[in-house]
Structure 1
Amino acid sequence: MYKILIATDFSRAAASAADYALRMACSCGMNLSIIHIYSVGLPMVAEGTMFSQDSLYDLAEKDSLERLSLLEAKLNQDADQLCNDSSKPLIEVFSTIGVPAAGIKSFFNQKDMGMIVMGIKPEERYLGTLPGSTIRKLIKWTSVPVLLVPMNFPPVPIQQIVFATDFGDSDITALGFLAQIASAYHSDLLIFHNRISAEKGGQFLQKEKKFLDKVAQAIDYPKVFYRHKQKDTLEEALAVLDKNAEADMLAMVHKKHSMIEELFGGDKTLRMISRTRVPLIIFPQSFATSPGPARLGERQVHN
């Protein structure tokens, strides 16, 4: 995991996400790539004024690159203050025309990114409101984790990461990824399970033990803990941790749902995005870490 892709639209939410990603890059030994996907609308012009399609494309690209250059300069300046010389990330910027979700997906597939970072806008956190279409599409399409940062969230050091598990096999790989982040911050990694009413007695204890045994075999990090609670929903259970300020970051695996389930609120991931007050990492169900120098602290040097 040596590159973070920051997807920006230059909003305040995107700025918060970029600041957060920079500090993570400094702590974890990762480089940064920033992408802006721009589009060309139809301008309001005076009668008789002519604009060629090519000139509209040129103007949109010029504006995108200028704003990216300003963002790059700001992050480099901040990195000089925040990072040691050895931990200062390399920062690249890219601009391309297209539809945001598809453009971001195409880009991270080409550039071998380890994680995508985006901001959560206020309208995507109101109770019952589904996240924007770009976020919804990305968490379905992506093969890498997506880190969503609430607007104006302070980039504080991570002391505890809370991972919500249902004891699925894909959770083990996600926990390995999170253990690398936790190790960089020397933070706790809390595995959290919301025990539903159907999970009872010896059968539940056996399932729980089997999962935790797999975790112990797969993850070599001493500050991994486990807790379960029993609430009506996962959101209520995690809200207890949030209220008690026990989590600096939440994480979960996105399990596939039908369109009907999404429309009627059956997708736990979308509900968590609209409610979270701390950064949330969402892993695809088929997540697998990339081979090679994809571990924290093994920053790739650009040629």
Structure 2
Amino acid sequence: MSSRLIIYPTDFSECAKNAKAYAIAMGKALKCKIRILHAVEIGSLASAEKNPDALLTSIKTLEEQAKKKLVKLKEEIESFGLECEYQILEGRTLFLKDYMESLDPLMIVMGTTGKSGIENKIFGSFAAQTIHNQKSIILAIPLKAKFNTLSKIVFATDFHKKDKTCLSFINKITNYYGSDLQVVHISDNVAELQQEREKFSQLEEEITKVMRSHNIRFEFLYGDKVEDELLEFLDSSKPDMLALVGRKRNFIERIFDKSLSKKMVNQTHVPVLVFS
């Protein structure tokens, strides 16, 4: 985690605007430069426009429109004392693994939904691929998220070997914002309940020695379904961010999927920090 670059992809949608505030917040806490990425989709234009000259004109127009918006975004971010740059890409470039790896960002801060139609297809697909495939830390911002402060962060642990490293990283954020940190484990296995309690107690002891913070609490919970129990916990504790390590794809999708239940719709305001 030595990189000092935060990637902020935008399609200028409302969700991407929300993500900007979180990118700034992370840039300040982690002392990082921010690079704004915007993708111009050329493939759809090429299929619709057969005249090469007209196609080039359309692409140039889109790029000029995007540049004006990107310059304004850059100035807004720089007004917070942060170093910032922007880049306009072809739509498919966002999907190139080699391209993203060459940037080697510390974190990618992005909205989970984009504009309608073609732009949403590009941005939404990128969001899905990024969350599940990137080696970088991902901060996924739902549409309803509105940055105010980071007074409380919840870290959901499954006793991953990276837990202590991830908590150390989160500690940089909590120190900067004076946040409370809640470490929670949810068990759904009665047969292994005692064993998991012992693991959790060991983790609490190890983390408490390293972090030595009065703002950290540990909670062990039990529920038939881990995802549902976690959502209940988020509803009661009302954190400003949820952090977790390498959860399964369907778990993250459930938190953001608005069609599953009213309860989950209500949780779509909680940003999720995903460690790979």
TM-score (norm 2): 0.80
Shift of 1:220: 5.3
| 1:137 counterpart = 2:140 | no
2:118 maps to what in 1? none
The alignment-based identity, stated in percent, is 24
Partners of 2:24 and 2:193 lie apart in 1 by 46
Shift of 1:155: 1.2
Shift of 1:65: 2.1
CA RMSD of aligned residues (A): 3.0
Shift of 1:108: 4.2
Partners of 1:144 and 1:240 lie apart in 2 by 28
2:16 maps to what in 1? 14
C-alpha offsets along residues 55-102 of structure 1, whole Å, 9 cap, x if unaligned? 44434433332321122233345x3xxxxxxxx111111111132642
Partners of 2:85 and 2:185 lie apart in 1 by 39
Instruction: Tell me which amino acid in the other structure corresponds to 1:21.
Output: A
1:203-214 correspondence to structure 2 within 5 Å: 203-214=195-206
C-alpha offsets along residues 250-289 of structure 1, whole Å, 9 cap, x if unaligned? 011124x5xxxx6xxxx212222334321111111xxxxx
Contact preservation (8 Å) 2:11, 2:114: no
1:295 maps to what in 2? none
Partners of 1:70 and 1:122 lie apart in 2 by 19
Helix, strand or coil: the match of 1:17?
Answer: helix
Structure 2 residue runs without a partner (length 5+): 116-122, 258-263
Structure 1 residue runs without a partner (length 5+): 80-87, 124-130, 285-303
Instruction: Tell me which amino acid in the other structure corresponds to 1:74.
Output: E
Which has a greater percent of helix? Answer: 2
Partners of 2:95 and 2:211 lie apart in 1 by 34
Contact preservation (8 Å) 1:172, 1:218: no
1:213-228 correspondence to structure 2 within 5 Å: 213-216=205-208, 218-219=210-211, 221-228=213-220
C-alpha change, 1:201 and 1:142, in structure 2 (3 Å) is closer
Shift of 1:118: 0.7
Contact preservation (8 Å) 2:6, 2:35: yes
2:101 maps to what in 1? 109
TM-score (norm 1): 0.73
Contact preservation (8 Å) 1:139, 1:254: no
1:167 maps to what in 2? 159
Partners of 2:7 and 2:106 lie apart in 1 by 8
Instruction: Tell me which amino acid in the other structure corresponds to 1:178.
Output: I
C-alpha change, 1:199 and 1:155, in structure 2 (3 Å) is farther
| 1:94 counterpart = 2:87 | yes
Partners of 1:272 and 1:152 lie apart in 2 by 13
Aligned residue-pair number: 257
1:274-289 correspondence to structure 2 within 5 Å: 274=257, 275=264, 276-284=268-276
Partners of 2:231 and 2:197 lie apart in 1 by 24
Helix, strand or coil: the match of 1:236?
Answer: helix
1:197 maps to what in 2? 189
| 1:272 counterpart = 2:255 | yes
| 1:66 counterpart = 2:68 | yes
**Which structure's relative contact order is higher, taking Cα pairs within 8 Å and 6+ residues apart?**
1
Partners of 1:3 and 1:38 lie apart in 2 by 22
Structure 2 counterpart of 1:158, from 131, 150, 153: 150
C-alpha offsets along residues 198-247 of structure 1, whole Å, 9 cap, x if unaligned? 35454233222333344345545443221021122233222233323431
C-alpha change, 1:73 and 1:203, in structure 2 (3 Å) is closer
1:26 maps to what in 2? 28
Partners of 1:213 and 1:245 lie apart in 2 by 23
2:225 maps to what in 1? 233
